[in-house]
Structure 1
Amino acid sequence: MKLTKTILMGSTLALTAMWGAAFAQNVAREDTVIFDLDRTIKDPDNFNWFTPGTKRMHGAHQTMWEPLFILNYNTGALDPWLATGFEANEDSTEFTLTLRDGVEWSDGEAFNADDVVFTVNMALENEEISSREASTIRAQVASVEKVDDLTVTFALKEPNPRFVVENFGVRIFGSFLIMPEHVWNGEDPATFAFNPPIGTGPYTFTSAATNRAIWDRNDDWWGAKTGFMDLPEPQRVIFLETGGAESRAQLMVTNELDAAQNVGVGTFEAIAAQNPNVIAWHSDYPYAASDPCARQLEINTTVTPWDNPAMRKAVAHIIDRSQIVNVAYEGTTVPSETMFAQYGSMAPFIDAVKEAGYGLPATADVAAGQALIEEAGWTKGGDGIYEKDGQQLSVDIHVNSASTEYTRTIDIVVEQLNRAGIAAKAVPVENGVFWGEVLPFGKYEMSYSWLSCGSVNEPWASMGRYTVSDVVPVGERSPGFNNTARWSGDAAAAYSAIVDQMADLTLGDPEIPGMVAEAYQHLDAEMPFIPLVQAAKLLPMNTTYWTGWPTAENYYNHPFFWWNHTHQIIHNLEKAG
C-alpha cells in the first residue's frame, strides 16, 4: 500500500471535518484515546443492548457497562470485576455469585443484587429480547434469587460447570450485562431505548452520531473511591468510524487514531514506515494476534467419496498449512497444531493432543495422501487426476465470498488438491447464502469456515460441537451450526461418550487433558474437519499519545478492543512521555 502525501492530506482533512465536533468540549488530543469503529452506528439514540444492532461496541460495553468477571486468555483465570467470586454446588447446577461492595451506577445509586436479579428475570420472562447473551441465559437458567445485597444464587436447568465464564466472563466478545433496575423498572425491555444510558464504568456517555460515539471520564467513579482501581488516565474516549483500511491507515500515520481495526501486512508495514510509533501484537512477523475462531476445512461426511475416513485423511495429508500462512495471510498467522485456538490457557490441552501423537504438521505429505487415495481404488488418469469407475475424483469447496481472506485460502487449497490429483473447484457464495443455507443444511461437499470456535480456556466448548447428539439429516438445520459434517458411526459415538463425560467436570479438573487426548484419537483417525491455520487480527496500536497497549510482551489480555474486556486496556493506558 502506498500512502502518498496527496492522498494522506485529502483523507485526513475529510475525516477531520467529519468528526471535528468530537473535541468541542476542549479535551486535549493527548488526553483523548481514539478507537477505530468498523461499522456505522445505525441508531445512535438507542442503548438497549438486548435488541439487534450496534448498541455496545461503539464504547458502551468498553467504557460504561462493566462485566462481572473478565477471562484472561493467557492464564485462563477469571479476573474479578463487579463480582469478587463464585461458588458452585457439587453437580454444577447451582452457582452463588458474590458482588463487589461499594459499586455505584454513575447517577450515584448502588449497584447490588437487586439489579442482577431484575436484569436476569427480564431475559427469562421476555422471549422477544433477542441478544445472544439473553437467549443463553434463558436456555440455561431456571431461576435466580437474591440472598442479600451482595449475593445472588442461580439455579440451572442442567449441570454446567462453565456457567459463569460463558455468561459473565467475557469469554468471547461480550457478557450478559446488568442494567439498573431503578431506570429499567416498568419499561418494555423490547422497545426501551435507554437514553441517556448509565453504567457503572469510569466513563459516561457524552454524544453519538452515526459515525462516532464520545465518552468522558467520570471522576466520581466508584472504583477509584473504593480503592478497587485508579481512575484511567484518558479523560475522553472516542469510537470513530474510519471508513475502511485506507482511511484508518491515514489516521494512524497522522496520529489521529490510537487503535485500528484489522489491516493487511502491507498496509501495516506502510503505516509503521511513516509512523514508527505504531506497533502491533508482535514486534515482527507474524505481527497479528490470534482470533478465537481458528480456520478449518469442513467436510460433509455423508457425501461419497468423503464418507470414507481414509479419503478425508488423504486430504489432510495433502494440505500444506505453511503455504496458506505465507500466501493467503502474508505470514501474519501460524499453522494450527490442533482444532483449538492457540492461547496460553489452552496449552495443557494442545500439549496433551500433541504428546499423544495427534498434532498437525505445518507442511504437506502428498505422497502419504496419494497412497491413501490409491488404497481406496483410485488411479491417476492421463491428465493427472485420479479416476475410478469412469469418474474423476473431484470436490467442490464452498467459500463465503465476503472476505478475500476466505477466498484466497480456498484458492490455495484448491491448487494444492489439483496438483495432488483431486479435481477441486472453489464455489464462492454470498454471506447470507453461506450461513443461511450452505453450512446449516449440509449443502456442501467441503467448505471453509471456523465451526470449532468456542474453546478459549477449556476444551469442551469446541469439542462439544461434534457429538452425535447434534447429527441431523442433510437438508435439516444443524442445531447451532454444530456437527454440520453429520459425523456419525462408531468412532463418532466413542468420541461423543468421552466428550459428554468431560462436559460435567469442573474447570481445571486434572483428568481433562487426558480425556481430550483420548477423544482426539477419533478426530485424528476420521477427520470430519481439517484444521488449517489460526485466525489473525493485525491491529495497529499507536504509542504517540498512549503506551501500555496489550502485546505479546505485555500480555495482560488480548487486544480486541471492541470486546467487553476493553476496560482492562483503557485502565492500562498511560500517557506517553
Structure 2
Amino acid sequence: MNGKLNRRDFLRLSGLTTAGVVLAACGAAETPATSGGGEAAAPAAPAPASDAMAGVADVAREDTIVYMFGGQPGQFEDTGLGNPYATGATHQIGSAALWEPLYFFSAFAPAGEQEIPWLATGYEYSEDFTELTINLREGVAWSDGEPFNAEDVVFTINMLIENAPTLSRSSAVKAAVASAEVVDDLTALIKFNGPRPRFMFELLMSKFDTGIWWVPEHVFKDVEDVAAFPYFDVEKGWPLATGPYHIVAWNNTQKFIDRRDDWWGAQTGFAELPVPLRILATPRADDTIMVQRMINNEVDQTLDLRATTIGATVAQNPAIVTHTMREAPYGYMDWWPTSMWFNHDAEPYNDKNVRWAVS
C-alpha cells in the first residue's frame, strides 16, 4: 500500500474489524523513534507463515494487513468457526472481508449517496410497506463458482426464521417477515407481517460490519443444526463467500485470509481487486504490547485502547490514524451508540408498556 490512506479506504478497512486504531500504511512508513528518545526501533520483519502454519505461502509485509484484535490475550476463542451464525463465531476478526451485503451504508457519505448497491442493484417497497422487492446483481458468484442468486437470499431469510431466536438477527427477521419468495434468479420478494419501512435499512444494509450474512443454499440446505455447524474446511474451500478474500489457514494464534483474484467483482469489472494480498489476524495482547507494535509498524490495526493511550501512540508514529483521524476523541462517533436491547419473545419485555417504562 502507499503511504496515504484516503477516508473511504480507511472506513472500508476499519469495517473489517471495527477497530479503533489503524496505520495509514502497511509497512511503508519510516520507522519512528521510540518514546524514550533512543535509537529508532528496527524495521518490522516480513510476515511469513509461521512453522505452525505449514503450507501457507509467504507474503511480503508491505502486502499484508496485520490485525491484533479479538479473543483473549494471546489466543482466539472462535478458531475454526467459519459459519457466521455458529454459536461463538464472530465476523469481526477479519472475516467481514469474506461477506458482502446487498447494500453498504456509509454514515459519512453525503446525503443521497449513503446507500451503496453491492450484491443488489435496487429495491422497492409496496405503497403500504408490506412487501419488499429486491433486485440482485448479475454475475455475482460464490468462491466455488456457484452463482449467488435469489435462492440464497430467500433461503437465508427462511433459515433465520426457522432458527429463531438462536441465530443472530433471527428474532428480528421472524418478527417482521411473513414469507420470502423467489420471483426469478435475480429477484426476491419479501412479504411482511405489517408495514416495515425500515427493514431494508436495519437488516439488509451493512452499516460498517452489521447486517445479515448470506449463506450458500447449496451448502446449508443439508445442514440440520446451523448453530453447531462450524463450516471450516480448507480443502473444501469453506467457508464459501462472495467477498474478495478467503481463509487459507487458521489456528489459535493466527488467521490467514488471502485475496481471491477470481473474485466476481474483478471478473465482471464491477470493482477492482483490493490492494492487500493478505489479512493476518492475531489475538489481542495487553495495551503495552499492542501500542509498541503499532509504533514499530509491526501491526496495522488494533482495538479498544483507552483515549489517553491512543493519544500518546498517535504522537509517536505519524502513520497512525483513528476513527477521528489524528485528533481527539479518537474513538467511535455517533453511528454506533451504546444501546440496550429487549428480547421481545420473553416476559416481561414482550409487553410494550414495560419497554416504555424502562426507556
RMSD, matched Cα: 3.3
Residue among 179, 182, 190 paired with 1:154: 190
Instruction: Give me the identity figure in percent.
Output: 35
Residue among 309, 317, 325 paired with 1:267: 309
Match of 1:287 in 2: 330
Match of 1:115 in 2: 152
Superposed CA deviations along residues 173-197 of structure 1, whole A, max 9, x for unmatched, are 4211111111122111232221221
**For the Cα contact (< 8 Å) 1:48–1:193, is it kept in 2?**
yes
Residue among 242, 252, 256 paired with 2:294: 252
Mapped pair 1:89 → 2:123:
no
Kindly state the Cα deviation for residue 47 of structure 1 after the two structures are TM-superposed: 1.9
Residue among 279, 288, 294 paired with 1:237: 279
**For the Cα contact (< 8 Å) 1:143–1:154, is it kept in 2?**
yes
Match of 1:28 in 2: 60
Residues 154 and 172 from structure 1, CA distance in 2 versus in 1: closer, same or farther, beyond 3 angstroms? same
Which amino acid counterpart does residue 68 of structure 1 have in structure 2? L
Q: Name the structure with the higher helix share.
A: 1
**For the Cα contact (< 8 Å) 1:70–1:80, is it kept in 2?**
yes
TM-score (norm 2): 0.75
Kindly state the Cα deviation for residue 172 of structure 1 after the two structures are TM-superposed: 6.9
Kindly state the Cα deviation for residue 256 of structure 1 after the two structures are TM-superposed: 1.3
Distance 2:196 2:137 in 1: 24
Match of 2:13 in 1: none
Kindly state the Cα deviation for residue 3 of structure 1 after the two structures are TM-superposed: 6.0
Residue among 71, 91, 103 paired with 1:69: 103
Distance 2:207 2:166 in 1: 19
Query: After the TM superposition, which residues 110-259 of structure 1 pair with which residues of structure 2 at under 5 Å, given as runs?
Result: 110-127=147-164, 130-171=166-207, 173-188=209-224, 189-195=226-232, 196-259=238-301
Residues 479 and 291 from structure 1, CA distance in 2 versus in 1: closer, same or farther, beyond 3 angstroms? farther
Distance 1:146 1:99 in 2: 11
Kindly state the Cα deviation for residue 146 of structure 1 after the two structures are TM-superposed: 0.6
The 3-state SS of whatever aligns with 2:255 is strand
Match of 1:542 in 2: none
**For the Cα contact (< 8 Å) 1:134–1:176, is it kept in 2?**
no
Which amino acid counterpart does residue 120 of structure 2 have in structure 1? A
Residue among 50, 54, 70 paired with 2:89: 54
Distance 1:219 1:294 in 2: 37
**For the Cα contact (< 8 Å) 2:105–2:206, is it kept in 1?**
yes
**For the Cα contact (< 8 Å) 2:49–2:58, is it kept in 1?**
no
Distance 1:83 1:480 in 2: 36
Distance 1:140 1:97 in 2: 16
Residue among 98, 107, 123 paired with 2:135: 98
Number of residue pairs aligned between Structure 1 and Structure 2: 306
Query: After the TM superposition, which residues 268-417 of structure 1 pair with which residues of structure 2 at under 5 Å, given as runs?
Result: 268-280=310-322, 281-294=324-337
Residues 249 and 18 from structure 1, CA distance in 2 versus in 1: closer, same or farther, beyond 3 angstroms? farther
Kindly state the Cα deviation for residue 5 of structure 1 after the two structures are TM-superposed: 9.5
Which amino acid counterpart does residue 69 of structure 1 have in structure 2? Y
Match of 1:45 in 2: 80
**For the Cα contact (< 8 Å) 1:100–1:150, is it kept in 2?**
yes
Which amino acid counterpart does residue 250 of structure 2 have in structure 1? A
More RCO (CA 8 Å, sep 6+):
2
Q: Which runs of 5+ in 1 are unaligned?
A: 296-449, 454-464, 471-475, 488-527, 529-577
Kindly state the Cα deviation for residue 248 of structure 1 after the two structures are TM-superposed: 1.4
Match of 1:552 in 2: none
The 3-state SS of whatever aligns with 2:77 is coil
Which amino acid counterpart does residue 61 of structure 2 have in structure 1? R
Kindly state the Cα deviation for residue 143 of structure 1 after the two structures are TM-superposed: 0.5
Superposed CA deviations along residues 208-234 of structure 1, whole A, max 9, x for unmatched, are 122332110000110001111000000
